[in-house]
Amino acid sequence: MTLGQERGRRIIDSMGGNAIAVVGDVMLDEYIWGTVERISPEAPVPVVNLTGESSTPGGAANVAGNILGLGDKPLLIGVVGNDHSAEVLDWLLREKGIDTQTLLYDPQRPTTVKTRIIAHSQQVVRADRELKADISKERQDEVMRVLFDHRATLKGMIISDYGKGVITKSLLKRLIEFCLKEDIFVAVDPKDTNFPRYKRVSLVTPNHHEAGFAYGLRIIDETTLATVGFGLLERLEAKAILITRGEKGMALFQAGKEMKLVPTVAQKVFDVTGAGDTVIASFVSAVAAGATMEEATVISNQAAGVVVGEVGTAVITKEALREQFR
């Protein structure tokens, strides 16, 4: 499946200016940078000499960053704790130009933080601070109130489900029903445990491991890929399933159409952190700009090819996407 340069440029030029809701698990990605020169005498682990630290919005917040980078207007809705990490995340988002007024504070929960130690462009270890319990009904009602207040301007919604407790069974049902009623394109970045509940959405974007697990069949070739893709499409009654396949690219499945394969365009792969966020953000942005599902697949594949070439959580921009497409 290909997309002509002229048509691709027109779509990219049209992207931006649309309000797109991002609902899900916001988190703070912390990076501790260093070098490794020896193995510890205490245990067979590397000793990292620290050289610096940095932080960036992660999870649903990274999706919002990608939406903003493409020129659209993210409506970021998530839950954070009443802690220092929430303050850092709030500052980082506002510095990027993302409105944080729709972040919901819950003093009973910590802000989800993923801390990665990186040495020589390689991730050594990751430590997570989180609470996976479901958010309260009161917080779920707040999420729906925010969406209802903005329903007239929304051109799309991304449900970013990292399994950290925001996308509960009851909230997911309400989100999907809201989008169906308001005729809003809704895409889901899935968590395998919630897979059966993503029914009647516009798009689901699992990687090949998640898709195989959800369907109960390991993807080992194009035959099993087709079985899983079309099987999930039927089970979920979705408009489309986009399976990301790492170095093998992507596969798009739509009812009544053949499987569409798109080879990867990545020239180098340093870090796949956040690549799924870029894929779903660029896909929804392209659709909001008038692209077909097939065209949006090619564009999101190009976007992913940019961010995997950078170390750490990266976001796509229209300029980088334009350059990549050339």
Please report, for the chain, the start and end positions of each structural domain, with discontinuous segments joined by +. 5-26+58-110+131-325
Q: What are the 10-residue block averages of pLDDT along the chain, 326 residues in total?
A: 79 94 97 94 93 95 95 97 97 96 96 95 92 96 98 96 94 97 96 88 96 96 97 97 92 96 69 75 96 95 80 74 80
In the chain, the amino acid numbered 322 is R
Which tokens sit at 116?
């990665």
Question: CA-CA distance, 214 to 195, in Å (whole number)?
Answer: 6
Distance between first and last Cα of the chain: 17
User: CA dihedral in degrees (59, 61, 67, 72; nearest 10)?
Assistant: 160
pLDDT at residue number 43: 93
pLDDT at residue number 271: 42
pLDDT at residue number 272: 52
pLDDT at residue number 47: 94
Helix%, strand%, coil% for the chain, nearest 5: 40, 25, 35
> Rounded to the nearest 5°, which phi and psi values hold at 18?
-100, 145
Q: Which residues are catalytic?
A: 277
96: enclosing H helix or E strand = helix 84-96
Q: 5-26+58-110+131-325: CATH homologous superfamily?
A: Ribokinase (3.40.1190.20)
- Kindly provide the residue ranges of all beta strands, DSSP E only, lying in 64-184, ordered along the sequence: 73-80, 103-105, 113-119, 122-129, 154-160
pLDDT at residue number 311: 53
Say what the pTM is. 0.91
Question: CA-CA distance, 325 to 316, in Å (whole number)?
Answer: 13
Question: CA-CA distance, 299 to 243, in Å (whole number)?
Answer: 15
182: enclosing H helix or E strand = helix 169-182
Question: CA-CA distance, 293 to 239, in Å (whole number)?
Answer: 9
pLDDT at residue number 270: 46
Which tokens sit at 145?
């109130």
Which tokens sit at 100?
């944080």
Let me know how long the chain is.
Answer: 326
Paired sense of beta strands 46-59 and 26-39, if any:
antiparallel
pLDDT at residue number 3: 76
